[in-house]
Amino acid sequence: MKASGMARAITLLAGILGMAWTSVACAVPAYSRQTGQECAACHMGAYGPQLTPYGVRFKLGGYVDSDEQGGKLPLSAALIASFTHTAENQARAPTASTKVNDNAVIDQASLYVAGRLAANLGTFTQITYDGAERKAMLDMLDLRYASSLDLSGKELVLGLVLDNNPTLQDPFNSSPAWSFPYVQSSVAFEPGAATLINGGLEQRVLGLSGYLFWNKSLYVELGSYRSLSPAMQARLGLGREEDPGRLGSGTLYWRIAWTKDYKRHAFHVGAIGLNASLQPDRGQPARNDYRDVGLDAGYEYLGNRRHMVSVYASYIHERQTRGALLASGGAARLHGRVDEFKLALSYDLRETWDVTLARFDERGSRDAMLYGDGYTGGRPDTAGTIAQVDWTPWGKEGSWHEPWANLRLGLQYTRYDRFNGARRNYDGQGRNARDNDTWLLFLEAAL
């Protein structure tokens, strides 16, 4: 085993894991201008990304619903700025332009192409400037064609979607790309393990899926992904350094869900999966195989929109066969697993004030090499609780400058019970999980 190979494998893995820890918050008033509807029609709490049942149908319909007035440009801009404080300083500044603590950064300044491009063709595409990393990149890509037909009196929507992150195309609030927290600090701590389906391929791949949505209830999707070449990743502003490697041609993404919208309340249950084989060193044939299977569910009480409650839960199990990591010395065991559990409960008052309490728990099987430095007991286990309160003054009918502007101000606290395998001294240097507790004050704005 070459030391450089091991370092590369670990770097690649860290890169994969790090990519799972980015913000997904988004709100695009371009949709509001296109449809004449306020943000609150599609989003719980009047700000993205948490979709209402109506928002789910708008997405699966291809982002093409409109008020038929024409002359609407599918363009929006958005900003996320934050201040992050951690209980104890980080060992190193998280990026070249930040400090070891108390960082005020522009997390994202984004341009969206969002809305109807043609009769049945719509998109949700985001180009982002990352203020912490000081680089611009193609962030989210969702380009879809959808058409509906009548099937014995029931509507059947058929669609094709091109996207750059497995689950980005998913419409439900419990799938990895869209689950709480919707905003996370870009300069705080990153847990040591995540499943591949939970952001591990984010932005570095291109996928094509076909889906059907029958009777506003049954959702079935099947698709595959190919990795972008390092040169293409560089051209898109992503850099070559965090290239996760080449995906095998048999990559399979699947999703099935059942949802019911009773108007005053709604629910969904589903299963999701990703089978992928990743060649981390494109010059070597060795591969790591990932088999991800997840279950998720959600319930939303919308009532008369003055008091709303939502609860989402998901569990993902990943089975890893780490041939490449084992060959390069990045892992001690060929087989391993990662399990992720998430639960989030939110209350919304008058589509303006939100309180959310969430629990996350990530566990992995023991591997002294893969989870060596910075871990205890060869385990990546990380668990904690997130509490958030946020204020969204606009985004409703009659709001200031509706449908041109939206704003959210939030305060989030993350408490770690366990980090990288232990509650205390997880890194062997005396650092405790609670030292990573994070306060995040954030501002989101969109126009």
Partner 1 sequence: MKAGCALACLLLAAALPCLADGAAERGKDVYASECSDCHSVQPQKNKKGPTLFGIVGRRSASVPGFRYSDVMRNSGITWTPEQLRRYIAAPKQVIPHDRMKYDGLSDAGDLDDLMGYLQTLH
Please report, as ranges, the residues that interact with partner 1 according to CB under 8 A. Answer: 35-38, 41, 52, 54, 57, 65-69, 155, 216, 263-264, 302-306, 397-398
> At 73, is the secondary structure helix, strand, or coil?
coil
Choose between 92 and 263: whose C-beta lies nearer to partner 1. 263
Least distance from C-beta 177 to partner 1, angstroms? 24
Least distance from C-beta 339 to partner 1, angstroms? 37
Least distance from C-beta 405 to partner 1, angstroms? 17
Least distance from C-beta 309 to partner 1, angstroms? 14
Least distance from C-beta 41 to partner 1, angstroms? 4
CA nearest to 396, candidates 43, 59, 73, 75:
43
Choose between 24 and 27: whose C-beta lies nearer to partner 1. 27
Least distance from C-beta 113 to partner 1, angstroms? 21
For 322-333, give one letter per residue: b (16+ CB within 10 A) or e: bbbbbbbbbbbb
Phi-psi region of 310 (alpha: psi -120 to 50; beta: other; left: phi over 0): beta
Choose between 294 and 403: whose C-beta lies nearer to partner 1. 403
Count the residues in the chain: 447
**223/65 Cα distance (integer angstroms):** 24
Choose between 154 and 240: whose C-beta lies nearer to partner 1. 154
Give me 27's structure tokens.
């709100």
CA nearest to 201, candidates 140, 128, 282:
140
Least distance from C-beta 406 to partner 1, angstroms? 16
> Residue 176: is the preceding peptide bond cis (ω within 30°)?
no
Choose between 42 and 193: whose C-beta lies nearer to partner 1. 42
Choose between 69 and 425: whose C-beta lies nearer to partner 1. 69
- Residue carrying structure tokens 């205890």: 376
Choose between 305 and 359: whose C-beta lies nearer to partner 1. 305
Choose between 2 and 263: whose C-beta lies nearer to partner 1. 263
Choose between 392 and 412: whose C-beta lies nearer to partner 1. 392
Least distance from C-beta 154 to partner 1, angstroms? 10
Least distance from C-beta 211 to partner 1, angstroms? 18
Least distance from C-beta 54 to partner 1, angstroms? 5
- Residue carrying structure tokens 């993404």: 253
CA nearest to 233, candidates 152, 164, 292, 335:
164
Q: How many whole angstroms from its chain centre is CA 282?
A: 26
**33/63 Cα distance (integer angstroms):** 12
Choose between 38 and 130: whose C-beta lies nearer to partner 1. 38
Choose between 107 and 300: whose C-beta lies nearer to partner 1. 300
**315/296 Cα distance (integer angstroms):** 6
Least distance from C-beta 67 to partner 1, angstroms? 5
Give me 209's structure tokens.
């899926």
* Cβ-based neighbour number of residue 309 at 10 Å: 15
